[in-house]
Amino acid sequence: MGKLTNSQQPQPKIVKYVEASHSGIESVVLSRYAIGYVLHGTKYVYYGDKRYRISQGDVFYMGVGHHYVENIAEDDSLFEQILVYYTPAELQRILSHLNINYGVHISNGHSCDWCRSHAHVSMAARNSLKSFFRNCNNYLRDELFCNNDIAEDIKMTELVYLIVSGEDCCLKSKLLNNVDVARETFEQIVYDHIFKDISIEELSCICNRSLTSFKKEFKRQFVMPPHKWYIRQRLMHSRLLLISTSKSVSEIGNECAFPNTSHFIKLFKKEYDLTPALYRSRYQTNREQTEAEVPDDRQRPVKMAVGED
């Protein structure tokens, strides 16, 4: 277990990932929303030089699009996590089923800056969620379950029920905000074009919106204007490549869709007050001395050495 299936094959909804070795910071692209649970080890989610810890026994949400993660095994054991993938249409079907057939009243009064500005949330799993994922771990050892759509649907319904019947929180809010199919399509198009040479006008046409409507919807969902958001996403990706690979500055600039190396360096320095080469050098020199863990507060970042936001 561990690699995503080919897009042309049926995609499993419940997957266990196991990593035997530490492979550093990785870019992961999700085409579906996911609720996950760390069985063993520690997971980090990166936003530039800020990293957020997801500990063993934590449940977490990750939205569609690019994520920068690091999975670390502890005590000479494997890193293990379970992810439950879903689409807005599947979620809508489950919520309707819970409401119509079981009279489950579904509401959410939670809203916070974290939910609006981050593509992931995490929290210590309460006992019912811990039991759910441990049971999933047992089920996934049975090949009949792994290839059984009905069994997966039943487990997904159980998970959604456990979340929506609990108290209002970031996890519940993120889940219930995924019901909008039109929003998912909009988000997917936006994320699919981060590293492509395309104009905002062309993007608005792909989304079947006028330029004004596209910009308004974009800012509502992503907080900032399209051009600024795309540049920031590309620069964030370049920072992760600088500290996690040995690729040259020109290779990284090209991979992150900047028109030329000088333009990449100029934008990078404007955003972070350092050239890419100096950023990499300073990071490598200072990381061991400046890392500081923040225990028991899963939404606070562990800040690292260079270019903090």
Q: List the CATH number of the domain containing 74.
A: 2.60.120.10
Residue 97 lies in a domain: yes
Q: Domain end: 126, 152, 178, which one?
A: 178
3-class DSSP assignment, residue 120 = strand
* Same-domain pairing of 167 and 261: no
CA angle 35, 41, 43 (to 5 degrees): 50
Of 266, 257, 262, nearest to 227 by C-alpha is 257
* Same-domain pairing of 220 and 164: no
Given strand 42-47, what is the order of strands in its sheet?
A: 26-30, 65-72, 42-47, 50-54, 302-303
Give, for 70, the enclosing helix (H) or strand (E). Answer: strand 65-72
Q: List the CATH number of the domain containing 226.
A: 1.10.10.60
Residue 298 lies in a domain: no
* Same-domain pairing of 272 and 141: no
Taking the whole predicted model, whether its pTM rises above 0.85 is answered as no
**Domain range for 247:** 193-293
* Same-domain pairing of 98 and 174: yes
The pLDDT value recorded for residue 289 is 56
Residue 285 and residue 146: Cα distance in Å, rounded? Answer: 46
* Same-domain pairing of 154 and 289: no
* Same-domain pairing of 98 and 156: yes
Q: Domain end: 152, 178, 204, which one?
A: 178
Residue 121 and residue 33: Cα distance in Å, rounded? Answer: 12
The pLDDT value recorded for residue 200 is 93
Residue 5 lies in a domain: no
Contact assessment for residue 62 and residue 119, using Cβ atoms and an 8 Å cutoff: yes
The pLDDT value recorded for residue 295 is 43
| Domains: count for the chain | 2
* Same-domain pairing of 216 and 285: yes
Residue 9 lies in a domain: no
Residue pLDDT tens, the chain, 309 long: 444 444 445 688 999 999 987 778 888 889 899 999 999 999 999 887 688 999 999 999 999 988 989 999 987 789 999 999 999 999 999 999 998 888 888 888 888 888 877 889 999 999 999 999 999 999 888 877 777 888 899 999 999 999 999 999 999 999 998 887 677 788 888 988 999 888 999 999 998 899 999 999 999 888 889 999 999 999 988 988 898 888 999 999 999 999 999 999 999 999 999 999 999 988 877 665 544 444 444 454 443 433 333
* Same-domain pairing of 167 and 104: yes
* Same-domain pairing of 149 and 61: yes
* Same-domain pairing of 156 and 263: no
The pLDDT value recorded for residue 15 is 93
| Pairing relationship of beta strands 79-86 and 14-19 according to DSSP bridges | antiparallel
Report residue 108 as tokens.
Answer: 């959410």
Residue 144 lies in a domain: yes
For the beta carbon of residue 300, count every other beta carbon within 10 angstroms. Answer: 12
Residue 192 and residue 292: Cα distance in Å, rounded? Answer: 34
* Same-domain pairing of 153 and 51: yes
